[in-house]
């Protein structure tokens, strides 16, 4: 993937769910981290409140039209349980 090759990044933060399989398949030595996963980690490590994470996820979901995405719905339900 050209971004990874030019930056030699260990992680790739990804909010593309329509082509997630293609993005993941393009990565060799780079770990794929989705926006919902990043928000969950920030909550678990007390760097962000669950309420703030839900608000961010809602805002990004609206902008990216993620409301019907089951992965995002699952992340939202986990954040609501926090």
Domain count, the chain: 1
> What's the pLDDT tens digit per position in 17-54?
666 566 656 666 666 677 888 888 889 999 999 999 99
Q: What is the pTM of this model?
A: 0.66
**CA 56-59-62 angle, 5° bins:** 145
Cα three-residue angle 17-10-28, rounded to 5 degrees:
70
On whether the CB atoms of residues 4 and 25 are closer than 8 A, the answer is no
48 lies in which domain range?
2-81
């Amino acid at each position: 993937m050209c971004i990874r090759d030019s930056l030699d990044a260990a992680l790739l933060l990804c909010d593309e769910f329509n082509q997630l399989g293609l993005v993941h398949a393009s990565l060799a030595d780079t770990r794929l981290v989705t926006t919902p996963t990043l928000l969950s980690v920030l909550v678990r490590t007390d760097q962000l409140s669950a309420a703030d994470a839900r608000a961010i996820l809602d805002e990004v979901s609206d902008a990216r039209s993620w409301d019907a995405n089951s992965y995002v719905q699952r992340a939202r339900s986990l954040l609501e349980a926090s």
